Structures are given as C-alpha cells and as structure tokens.
Amino acid sequence: MDTSYPREDYLPVPSHKRDPSPTGLVPPPPRDHLVWSIFNTIYMNFCCLGFVALAFSVKVWAPSGDGRLNARCYNVLATAGSVVLPLLLAALVIAGVIHLSKLAQESVGFFTYQFSPSDDEDN
C-alpha cells in the first residue's frame, strides 16, 4: 500500500498535458451515406452494389471506422450503373431500330423493281 503524500492520482494535471480541444465540443459524426445506401439497395440494386454499399455504410460505425470511402464509392457505382446503363441500352435499341428501318426501306426498293418490256427475252 502506497502511503506517500500527495498521491499522484489526486494531483492536478499540468496545462501542457491537458487535452487541447475544448471539452464542450463534440466532433461531428462520420458521414456514412446510409440513406443513399438504403435507396440504392431498394431501388437501384445494380449487380448487388447497393447492398454492398449498405454493408460498408453500417461498417462506418464500427470501432475501426473503416468503410467510409468504400460506401461512397459503391453508392456512386450503383447509382451510375442503374442510371447510365439503361440509358445506354435505350440508345442502342433506338439506333438499331433506325438502322433496321433504313434497311427495310432499301430492301422494299430492291424487291419492287419493275422490269421494262424491252428486258423480256420472250419476244
């Protein structure tokens, strides 16, 4: 048992060893992109990227704090994949329909060719 006076645990903390941050301020919570991840999981779950983003969004609150950048990246990929790919597919379908209509018009012109009477060899 330590009987020395004054005990070290009752001594005041020197000013140079105190925490430099004010005690009244709380750091802002980490950005977890949880709402965006839930939206991507429910509505825009392209290749399950929305679910992966949701998993990383929940992982932000873990003690290690990993997943913040990954949640944002997967949310961007899920949103881009769910918006850009259908637009690209629609553009390809429209281009294909236009191309097929031009081919059909050319083939109609080919099959409706009228031979003149001088081309007949039956005379």
Query: Domain ranges in the chain?
Result: 31-114
Rounded to whole angstroms, the Cα distance separating 109 from 103 reads 10
User: CB of 75 within 8 A of CB of 66?
Assistant: no
- Cβ-proximal residues to 29 (8 Å cutoff; 6+ apart), any chain: none
Side-chain-side CA neighbours of 63 within 13 Å: the count stands at 0
pLDDT at 89: 94
Q: Tens of pLDDT along 42-67? A: 887 878 888 888 888 888 877 776 66
pLDDT at 4: 57
Which residue is associated with the tokens 């690209």?
Answer: 88
| Section 102-121 average pLDDT | 71
Q: Which of 33, 97, 93 is nearest to 67 (CA)?
A: 33
| Section 18-37 average pLDDT | 71
| Section 92-103 average pLDDT | 95
pTM of the model: 0.55
Rounded to whole angstroms, the Cα distance separating 50 from 28 reads 25
Helix (H, G, I), strand (E, B) or coil at 73: helix
